[in-house]
Amino acid sequence: MRTLCTSLPTLAPGSPVTLEGWVHRRRELAKVTFLVVRDRSGLAQVVLPAGSVVPPEETTVRVTGTATANAQAPGGVEVTDAVVESLTEPAETPPAELWRPHLDVQLPTLLDHAPVLWRHPAQRARWELAAASLRGFRASLDAHGFTEVTTPKFVESATESGANVFAVDYFGRPAYLAQSPQFYKQQLVGVFERVYEVGPVFRAEPHDTVRHLAEYRSLDVELGFIRDHRDVLAVLREVLAGMVAGIGEHAAAAVERTGARVPEVPTEIPVIHFADALALVGAPADEPDLAPEHERALGAWALEEHGSDFLAVEGYPMAKRPFYTHPQPDDPRWSNSFDLLFRGLELVTGGQRLHRPGDYDAAIRARGEDPADYAAYLQAFRHGMPPHGGFAIGLERWVARLVEATNVREVTLFPRDLHRLTP
């Protein structure tokens, strides 16, 4: 019967114990040899006679011995009278010393050796924040009557996906990889009212930036029978609170290990209109978008004015939003959509969508396109759709902000970009 490393202190001194894990560190002193074993729970110390032959770091081992109290050992208990059995060949020397408190490598090294370097406890903890966030995301939506759905990643037309789309040879004809589940999650509001999906989205992003990947995880939500985008924002607030709660519940140790700054989600996320946001940052009133420095300034303002790490900017100009965006009823230059800034960086885009088939026909014609090319999508609308809206959160961006990683690749298990397809 295996004991996890962090459960060692729960054993009565003198108990027989079997650990299984990786050789985290060997320390050969004059009078004694220490072996630190790492498993999914953490670390444990094994004491061996001086001069013992122990396998090199990262070799997987089974250690049998006796649980013995020692105030100096992690958790106050170590393993003595130990027999160490290797479970595989001696491991090759890792590209960095994983037992050091900090993983001190350059980004290309981290990415080239991802399968090994993600083992570093502080690096692994970054993903534990992601996994805990996913649990919180789903728990909050499950509790509010949402249904998890899956939508196809193969789509028929590039129109459906817009620019920067990947083409696939689909049984001899062209198909494309979905850039978002947008069209499908809307159609499924017609079925389930409230849906979410966690899945990969694909962007043939030709730019080499610290924020973009060719493939990332989108946390998509869509819901029907809303009044306007403020109802969507209220759900987003619940979801973010759920993600933060998930981290608190399932990844407290990872927070400590990464030094993550986990935000408080205010009861109500402060909202500013796009026009007011431009004025606030001193930008010309006819700017169609917020520049990164504007977003940073707004983030600082939200913190100072509202004590909030989050700020929703609503009313983005219709001209800059996708055709399915619902206009602001009292002034159709603006939209019922929003971006959510988290510490001055865009984290979420969302809003209300059109729901009347006539509005879709008009919006598509206004782009110089033919509604017939959108027949499959528009089917749902012709057969009755409620007022609805939703949002999408980029998982990697969320985690990057939590741990203040400058590059989203640092928190992605196996990133894919313009240059990288492996490992």
Kindly state the smallest distance separating residue 309's Cβ from its own copies, in Å.
Answer: 25
Pairing of strands 154-155, 173-177: antiparallel
Q: Judged by CB under 8 A, which of 385, 393, 403, 411 binds its own copies?
A: 385
Judged by CB under 8 A, the chain residues 29 through 48 that form the site for its own copies are: 39-41
User: Does residue 329 belong to the site contacting its own copies (CB under 8 A)?
Assistant: no
Give the CA angle between residues 249, 312, 305 to the nearest 5°.
90
User: Does residue 231 belong to the site contacting its own copies (CB under 8 A)?
Assistant: no
User: Does residue 115 belong to the site contacting its own copies (CB under 8 A)?
Assistant: yes
SS3 421: coil
With CB under 8 A as the rule, give the number of residues binding its own copies: 93
User: Does residue 101 belong to the site contacting its own copies (CB under 8 A)?
Assistant: no
Kindly state the smallest distance separating residue 294's Cβ from its own copies, in Å.
Answer: 31
- Strand ranges inside 186-248, DSSP E: 194-202, 215-224
Give, rounded to a whole angstrom, the gap between the first and last alpha carbons of the chain.
35
Which range of residues in 71-79, 166-174, 262-270, 292-300 is near its own copies by CB under 8 A? 166-174
Burial class of residue 113 in the structure, from the number of CB atoms within 10 Å of its CB (0-12 exposed, 13-18 middle, 19+ buried): middle
Residues in the chain: 423
Contacts of 342 (CB under 8 A, 6+ apart): 263, 299, 309, 310, 348, 398, 401
Judged by CB under 8 A, the chain residues 336 through 375 that form the site for its own copies are: 355-358
Which range of residues in 25-33, 193-201, 303-311, 322-330 is near its own copies by CB under 8 A? 193-201
Q: Which is nearer to its own copies, 252 or 291 (CB)?
A: 252
Residue 402 gets which letter from DSSP? H
**What gap in Å lies between CA 258 and CA 190, rounded to an integer?**
42
CB 313 within 8 A of CB 298: yes
Give the number of C-alpha atoms closer than 13 A to the C-alpha of residue 337, restricted to the C-beta side. 25
Q: Which is nearer to its own copies, 14 or 152 (CB)?
A: 152
User: Does residue 22 belong to the site contacting its own copies (CB under 8 A)?
Assistant: yes
How far out from the chain centre does Cα 20 lie?
30
Q: Which is nearer to its own copies, 180 or 308 (CB)?
A: 180
366 sits in the region (left: phi over 0; alpha: psi -120 to 50; else beta) called: alpha
Sign of CA dihedral 404, 410, 414, 419: positive
Q: Judged by CB under 8 A, which of 105, 122, 134, 303 binds its own copies?
A: 134
Q: Which is nearer to its own copies, 33 or 187 (CB)?
A: 187
Give the CA angle between residues 134, 140, 142 to the nearest 5°.
95
Q: Which is nearer to its own copies, 2 or 27 (CB)?
A: 2
Q: Which is nearer to its own copies, 23 or 311 (CB)?
A: 23
Q: Which is nearer to its own copies, 231 or 346 (CB)?
A: 231
Which range of residues in 185-193, 268-276, 290-298, 338-346 is near its own copies by CB under 8 A? 185-193
Judged by CB under 8 A, the chain residues 248 through 277 that form the site for its own copies are: 250
Which range of residues in 25-33, 67-75, 142-150, 295-303 is near its own copies by CB under 8 A? 142-150
User: Does residue 91 belong to the site contacting its own copies (CB under 8 A)?
Assistant: yes
Nearest to 354 by CA among 390, 330, 319: 390
Kindly state the smallest distance separating residue 247's Cβ from its own copies, in Å.
Answer: 14
Q: Judged by CB under 8 A, which of 28, 81, 92, 370 binds its own copies?
A: 92
Tokens 């202190």 belong to 9
User: Does residue 228 belong to the site contacting its own copies (CB under 8 A)?
Assistant: no
CB 109 within 8 A of CB 95: yes
Sign of CA dihedral 284, 272, 343, 214: negative
User: Does residue 153 belong to the site contacting its own copies (CB under 8 A)?
Assistant: yes
Q: Which is nearer to its own copies, 126 or 294 (CB)?
A: 126
Q: Which is nearer to its own copies, 205 or 289 (CB)?
A: 205
Paired with 317 in beta bridges are 334
User: Does residue 194 belong to the site contacting its own copies (CB under 8 A)?
Assistant: yes
Q: Which is nearer to its own copies, 339 or 410 (CB)?
A: 410
Tokens 């603006």 belong to 334
Nearest to 224 by CA among 187, 261, 251: 187
Tokens 């001086």 belong to 50
Q: Judged by CB under 8 A, which of 29, 89, 106, 366 binds its own copies?
A: 89
Q: Judged by CB under 8 A, which of 143, 167, 234, 362 binds its own copies?
A: 167
User: Does residue 27 belong to the site contacting its own copies (CB under 8 A)?
Assistant: no
